[in-house]
Structure 1
Amino acid sequence: MYQQANLLGQESSPYLRQHAHNPVHWRPWGTLALQEARETGKPILLSVGYAACHWCHVMAHECFEDQQVADLMNAHYVNIKVDREERPDIDQIYMAALGAMGEQGGWPLTMFLTQDAKPFWGGTYFPKNSRYGRPGFMDVLQSIDRVWREDHARVVQNVDALTDHVSARLDAKATAVPLDKQLFDQFAANIAGMIDMKKGGLSGAPKFPNAPFMDTLWLSWLRNGNTQHRDAFLKSLRTMLQGGIYDHLGGGLSRYSVDDDWLVPHFEKMLYDNAQFIRHATYAYAETKDELFRIRIEETVDWLRREMLANGARFASSLDADSEGEEGRFYVWSASEISDAAEFQAFRTTYDVTSEGNWEGKTILNRLKSPDAFNTDTEADLLKVRQILFAQREKRIHPNRDDKSLTDWNGLMIRALTEASRVFQRSDWLELAISSYRSISESMIDGRLPHSVLGQSRLFPGLSSDYAAMINAAVSLYEATQEKTFLSDASHWLEALDRWHLTADGNYALSASDSTDVIIRVRGDQDEAIPSATGQILESIIRLATTTADYALQQRVEQLAENAIGRVLEQRYGQAGVLNSASLLLEPMKLVLVTPDREHPLIRAADSRSDPRRTDIWIRFEENTKIELVPGAGELIIKKPAAYLCRGFVCLAPVETAEALAELLKPKPSEH
């Protein structure tokens, strides 16, 4: 007899634990829950969400905390709760199934499955009773149960066809397509054509940072000198960092803006959004020297240290949008809460504080109407007021934090902090990155990375994105420190990635081969808010091959990229990450710095110009040392300190001064 109880209390996900006291008899996803469905003959009710999801909280309050709803769920279904951040492989399968049914996706995801975990009907948010033009969950539960019992043949009739359709989409097979610069350039032109050049971001609302698209624009600028694409990138980044989507008191970027002005955020703060914005702001500062980018990075790293260290080292996943049951309550202000004394007047004007407010009678602090920097004295006065208001805000009830540490998201942040530490000469940021890196590395068991860690709990097996993100983090740490242990780690993780995720056709699956609870091993080609697993894998292997001068590995990743591009051209949506990474193979860049020490001006010149296409290698200068810059090119005898920039298998003439190197590394605008 199966337990008539909620079984989420000991799970590694704070989101699942939030539901541990629901009257619903929730089970975590896994073989035991699937076995229960098979043995009881009940269909599965699958609910997928995440801790910072506003509508997930709404549906939980309206439905899952309600005894009447719970009684129906418990009587007729095996109820399974999934944290999409812990199990993106599960989420992708059933989100694709919902799309195949012609429904708009989103979270919470509510799916009904057969005992074999095959989907047959679904939706997203349902209120308890019909409203907002949506069917009530009580009615849905009763209708699905009735059809399951009385017309079972109709339920299962199309299940296999639907599953095959989803499999064809997520485990796509396609003919390899050779690398073609024109393909990447056309894709960048398509993205640029969708940018709102007055406000930044994609035209219309809602506005997301859309990091993969931002990467596309920046890579196009670096590759072709396309200033329109550079300006679209910079406009988007500047506007979001002055908008309400940015927390002007505490630092950190929110998930997205619900309007087309970047004013009203969906107030949740995600680790991955902030990792990617730190990278982008690092590029932007290196290009423009605009202090806005430096300040926003500094403020956000302070926020990471203050609020996002889950165990003193690893980074937590997110902060909720809600506090005290209300979205944004922690962040917004009434006019009466901000003094109208003389010393506050400049602040009120600069940050859009008015008696009527700018959102539902409240004020979301922003600088959209005053984006340009004032003089130093004015900015110092504004900082004093921000500090006063921050201290005042700290007394409020804070949003909840999702304390689980996801390996791939931590990998993204480690890389971002490492790159920023080089540009801004911040050894403390590098130490923060290394601390997280060591904590993640120490969480391995039998040489394998977990996907998630919470306290002493680890979720195995990891995903392909975990290994890719940590390889990228390790290569970046190697560039910053030149400690070869980081390259050893990267090589070890590539071996694990190959062992557990490489499929028979020579490509990679998101789930490990010993994941026994998925009906499809998805490829992981689809971008979400971060580049896809496939995109991250390609980039990580390209960078490792370039850094280690492993020509065989480079040939292998070229085949992987051509396979992935073939799939992209079949599906044609949501795969900027694959294209961005594959474009790096057009001309892999390596900068070899031969100097007597790491304090040499050539090193500083290289550090100050961050370029996602380039890997940097340091060799200690000793006169008459012989080095080989690229495989098979022959040895050079080093006579004096110099920097050698190699593009593919062609190395340019060495440069000996920081000024010459800075000029060499600077993108060259072209006419468009």
Structure 2
Amino acid sequence: MVNRLADAMSPYLLQHADNPVDWWQWSPEAFEEARRRNVPVLLSVGYASCHWCHVMAHESFEDPSVADYLNAHFVPVKVDREERPDVDAVYMEAVQAATGQGGWPMTVFLTAEAEPFYFGTYFPPESRHGMPSFQQVLEGVAAAWTDRREEVAEVAGRIVRDLAGRSLAAAEGGLPGEPELAQALLRLTRDYDERHGGFGGAPKFPPSMVIEFLLRHHARTGAEGALQMAADSCAAMARGGIYDQLGGGFARYSVDREWVVPHFEKMLYDNALLCRVYAHLWRATGSDLARRVALETADFMVRELRTAEGGFASALDADSEDAQGRHVEGAFYVWTPAQLREVLGEDDAAFAAEYFGVTEEGTFEEGSSVLRLVPAGEAEPADDERIAGVRGRLLAARELRPRPERDDKVVAAWNGLAIAALAETGAYFDRPDLVERATEAADLLVRVHMGDVARLCRTSKDGRAGDNSGVLEDYGDVAEGFLALASVTGEGAWLEFAGFLLDIVLQHFTGEKGQLFDTADDAEQLIRRPQDPTDNATPAGWTAAAGALLSYAAHTGSEAHRAAAEGALGVVGALGPKAPRFIGWGLAVAEALLDGPREVAVAGPVAGELHRTALLGRAPGAVVAVGVGPDAGSEFPLLVDRPLAGGAPTAYVCRHFVCDAPTTDAGELAAKLGG
């Protein structure tokens, strides 16, 4: 027996298609059904690789008695937060306002007008630790709906009014300048974990956007403390359990502040952002560790997340089957000393246990350990050949284990991040195969996500576009990916596609005073129009769009796009000094604004010495146009009237289309760009 979710494209919704719960997808019909039956809506929001979503599903949604009660008293609606980030954002804001915390699965009870009145996240099957059971919650809400309807309506109305009052009426503050960025750096220094790297305590998330800001700030100002925080944080993550020491790629976050034990799900967006961060760290320092991690993470994305259509899947699950056939978190990744001996023999197992921190007591559950490089900060053993051999044998043995499930949904925004990372990493390290993979993913976005319509769709699966409209982060991140690809490949079509997307941002996502909204002005109307300028696990749509608008303006000289970027960055001036950890991408874009950004026109061949030197320049947010011949200027405005000097490839470094003297010397170009 299956329910309505059997027709869904989302892997998360399909996971619930055989529940006895009579699930609906988010739709007007679901709320009309609640109105017809005069019952509340149970909204359950999660995603495919969410561990506690699986737990609650097994404990409650697969329980026939719970399902019978739920079906009789509610209209149950299931939402994949990755398909509908707008729905997730609106109700998560309500959950956090009401309870002081949030998370997934998110459980919200709504009126038939979609107004929330009771909130929570995970509820257990039996009451424990002061938390009511899910059945008790259902019975309590049903009783309140029946016996205290006026009170429910009053609560719902008050919450909706409160949410409506939170909208940012304008892009607060003036443009961020030197004082604001200096204050942001000072605040980050105070929050920095000097012993373990990163910011704050447990759980500890990869600070990708903040590191990008620190690298750009150092490049522009020479502030050594900024570079040190970035480099030490990257080293700590790369040596920790959050990084897959065998197969490359990063887990979602560390449950401890030392980066030892991760939450094992692997997300495309984390790996795309971190791949680019480590590539940029190598560009700044020449670090061998940064180079290795950037390439291994790129190879992980291509090997394990690339879909048959050329895009990149959303995530790998945290859970998989262990040796006893139990579906548990981390089973694919953890090791015991006995398992090492079984694969490697006594001598190599002892070596590997010391090198990777595998102990009899274990660092994870049931005596198992997460592989990491220990002791942190000391020189690694010099026997590189032995290390490589051990890694290869362990990886081959691990491939025989039951694999975590993969969420094959292709999300536009996250693919945009991956395109930028793979294009630049491929260009830096002479890996044309990575540039080719980035190009294939971009082709998929144009062919399927843009298709024949005038808008960008949020998701696709198996080469088929989903029904959900793109949100601001999709437009901003895909434009960012296209702009990076244009600079690397010299193909002006990617600049044109980026401009098409950014024109939609100007027309449909931008308010009268420069503020940005997460949904288009003609998108489905929720109880409020979501609008959030702060980063979460990915750059905020607000600042992602600002960065792409600024880069596009640098490429084309468009005053409209630059003015929109500047209008959007006002919020960074207001929030950056107070909460820099949560607006890191906005601070990085502000660094580019203060630096110009610089515009580099290379009249010469793609992948030539001057082109590569331009790409390796550290000037924050610099854009690169490359091409030669009479048609080059028709694709890249920066190349108009940029002739070869003496018949040799020539580079022009400009700000606002005002250029320094041209150079044919790669060393001189590198000096101009901080390379």
TM-score, normalised to structure 1's length? 0.92
- Where does residue 10 of structure 1 map in the other structure? 7
* TM-superposed deviation, 1:374: 4.4
Q: Tell me, in whole angstroms, the C-alpha distance in 2 between the residues paired with 1:364 and 1:570.
A: 36
The 1:596–1:398 alpha-carbon spacing in structure 2 relative to 1, beyond 3 Å, is closer
The one-letter code of the counterpart of 1:146 is A
Over 3 Å counting, the alpha-carbon distance change for 1:450 and 1:344 in structure 2 is same
Name the counterpart of 1:471. Answer: 479
SS of residue paired to 1:341? helix
- Structure-2 separation of matches of 1:612 and 1:347: 41
Q: 1:425 aligns with which of 418, 427, 430?
A: 430
Q: Please list the CA deviations of residues 144-171 of structure 1 after superposition, one character each: whole Å capped at 9, or x if unmatched.
A: 1111111111111132221122223255
1:531 to 530, 536, 539: 539
Match among 136, 139, 143 for residue 139 of structure 1: 136
* Cross-structure match for 2:407: 402
1:230-273 alpha-carbon deviations (Å, 9 max, x no partner): 10011001110111111111111000000111010000000000
Q: Summarize the Cα distance change of 1:539–1:175 in structure 2 as closer, same or farther, 3 Å threshold.
A: closer
Corresponding residue SS for 1:305: helix
Q: Does 1:60 align with 2:57?
A: yes
For the residues of structure 2 that align with 1:346 and 1:564, how far apart are their CA atoms? Answer: 49
- Taking a change above 3 Å as real, the CA distance of residues 35 and 567 of structure 1, as seen in their structure-2 partners, is farther
CA distance in 2, matches of 1:136, 1:594: 64
Once the 2 structures are TM-superposed, how far is the Cα of residue 432 of structure 1 from its aligned partner?
A: 0.5
Alignment partner, residue 335 of structure 1: 337
Q: In 2 relative to 1, CA 187–491 (structure 1 residues): closer, same or farther, beyond 3 Å?
A: same
Paired AA for residue 25 in structure 2: P
In the other structure, the counterpart of 1:452 is 459
Q: How does 1:480-495 map to 2 (within 5 A)?
A: 480-495=488-503
Q: Do the aligned partners of residues 357 and 100 (structure 1) sit closer, same or farther apart at CA in structure 2, a change above 3 Å counting?
A: closer
Distance in 1 (alpha carbons) for counterparts of 2:379 and 2:629: 44
Is this contact kept in 2: 1:587–1:648, CA < 8 A?
no
Deviates more, 1:531-540 or 1:416-425: 416-425
Question: Relative to 1, partners in 2 of residues 1:654 and 1:12: Cα closer, same or farther, differing over 3 Å?
Answer: same
Q: Check whether the contact 2:514–2:564 (CA below 8 A) recurs between aligned residues.
A: no
SS in 1 for 2:433: helix
2:375 to 342, 365, 369: 369
Task: Determine helix, strand or coil for the equivalent of 2:214.
Answer: helix
Residue number among 180, 183, 191 corresponding to 1:186 in the alignment: 183
SS in 1 for 2:522: coil
Q: Given the superposition, is the C-alpha separation of residues 611 and 373 from structure 1 closer, same or farther in structure 2, using an over 3 Å criterion?
A: farther
Cα separation, partners in 2 of 1:373 and 1:604, compared to 1, 3 Å: farther
DSSP 3-state at the match of 1:363: coil
Cα distance in 1, alignment partners of residues 384 and 513 from structure 2: 58
Assess, with a 3 A threshold, how the Cα gap between structure 1 residues 547 and 370 changes in structure 2: closer, same or farther. Answer: same
- The number of residues matched between the two structures is 659
Relative to structure 1, is the Cα distance of residues 530 and 480 closer, same or farther in structure 2, using a 3 angstrom cutoff?
Answer: same
TM-score normalised by L of structure 2: 0.92
In structure 2, the residue corresponding to 1:338 is in which secondary structure?
helix
Which deviations, in whole Å up to 9, do the C-alpha atoms of 1:529-572 show, x marking residues without a partner?
Answer: 11100010100100001011223322232223236655879999
- In structure 1, what is the Cα distance between the partners aligned to 2:278 and 2:563? 33
Distance (whole Å) between structure 1 residues aligned to residue 432 and residue 378 of structure 2: 30
SS, match of residue 466 in structure 2: strand
- CA distance in structure 2 between the aligned counterparts of 1:204 and 1:179, rounded to whole angstroms: 28
Q: Which amino acid aligns with 2:149?
A: H
What residue is the counterpart of 1:670 in the other structure? none
The Cα of 1:348 is off from its aligned counterpart by 2.4
Letter matched to residue 428 of structure 1: D
| 1:576 is the counterpart of 2:573 | no
Task: Supply the distance in 2 between the matched residues of 1:295 and 1:175 (Cα, whole angstroms).
Answer: 41
Alignment correspondent of 2:258: 261
Equivalent pair of 2:320/2:403 in contact (CA under 8 Å): yes
Indicate how the Cα distance of structure 1 residues 299 and 245 shifts in structure 2: closer, same or farther if over 3 A, else same.
same
Tell me, in whole angstroms, the C-alpha distance in 1 between the residues paired with 2:469 and 2:92: 21
Q: Which amino acid aligns with 1:127?
A: P
Report the alpha carbon displacement of residue 495 of structure 1 after superposing the two structures with TM. Answer: 2.6
Following superposition, the deviation at residue 38 of structure 1 comes to 2.1
CA shift for structure 1 position 338: 0.7
The one of 77, 84, 87 equivalent to 2:84 is 87
1:12/1:457 contact within 8 Å kept: no
**What's the CA shift for 1:582?**
3.6
Deviation at 1:95, TM superposition (A): 0.8
**CA offsets 1:303-356 (integer angstroms, 9 cap, x no match):** 222211122410000001111221101111111111243244432221112233
Between stretches 470-479 and 520-529, larger displacement belongs to 520-529
- How far apart in 2 are the matches of 1:182 and 1:569? 9
The separation in 2 between residues aligned to 1:636 and 1:315, in whole angstroms, is 37
| TM-superposed deviation, 1:176 | 4.8
1:285 to 278, 282, 285: 282
1:515 matched to 2:523: yes
Aligned residue in 2 for 1:435: 440
Q: Is the contact between residue 100 and residue 162 of structure 1 (CA under 8 Å) also seen in structure 2?
A: no
8 A contact 2:170–2:515 mirrored in 1: no
Structure 1, residues 89-134: CA drift from partner, whole Å, max 9, x if none? 1111111101221331111111111111111110111001101321
Give the 3 Å change call, closer, same or farther, for CA 379–33 of structure 1 in structure 2: same
CA–CA separation in structure 2 for the residues paired with 1:174 and 1:489: 27
Which position in structure 2 is the counterpart of 1:386?
391
The one-letter amino acid of 1:366's match is R
Superposed CA offset, 1:151-202 (max 9, x none): 1111111322211222232555465524432112211221122111221011
Instruction: Name the residue aligned to 2:200.
Output: 203
Tell whether the 8 Å contact from 2:243 to 2:251 is kept in structure 1 after alignment: yes
Q: For 1:169, what is the secondary structure of its paired residue? A: coil
| Worse-matched range after superposition: 578-587 or 290-299 | 578-587
C-alpha distance in 2 between matches for 1:157 and 1:499: 37
Q: Mean alpha-carbon deviation: is it higher for 118-127 or for 514-523?
A: 514-523
Q: Does 1:111 align with 2:85?
A: no
SS at match of 1:525: coil
Please tell me whether residue 243 in structure 1 is matched to residue 240 in structure 2: yes
C-alpha change, 1:452 and 1:553, in structure 2 (3 Å) is same
Instruction: Kindly state the Cα deviation for residue 395 of structure 1 after the two structures are TM-superposed.
Output: 1.2
Shift of 1:605: 1.9
Who is 2:509 aligned against?
501
Residue 414 of structure 1 contacts residue 434 of structure 1 at CA under 8 Å; is this kept in 2? yes
AA aligned to 1:447 is: A
The 3 A distance-change label for structure 1 pair 43 and 572 is farther
Distance 1:123 1:278, change over 3 A: same
Change (3 A) 1:390 1:457: same
In structure 1, distance between residues paired with 2:553 and 2:166: 30
Distance in 1 (alpha carbons) for counterparts of 2:224 and 2:395: 38
Relative distance call for 1:117 and 1:323 in structure 2 (3 A) is same
For the Cα contact (< 8 Å) 1:172–1:523, is it kept in 2? no
Structure 2: which amino acid aligns with 1:252? Answer: G
Q: What does residue 614 of structure 1 align with?
A: 622
1:380 positional shift: 1.8
Preserved CA contact (<8 Å) 1:418 1:477: yes
The runs of 5 or more residues in structure 2 that have no matched partner are 322-326
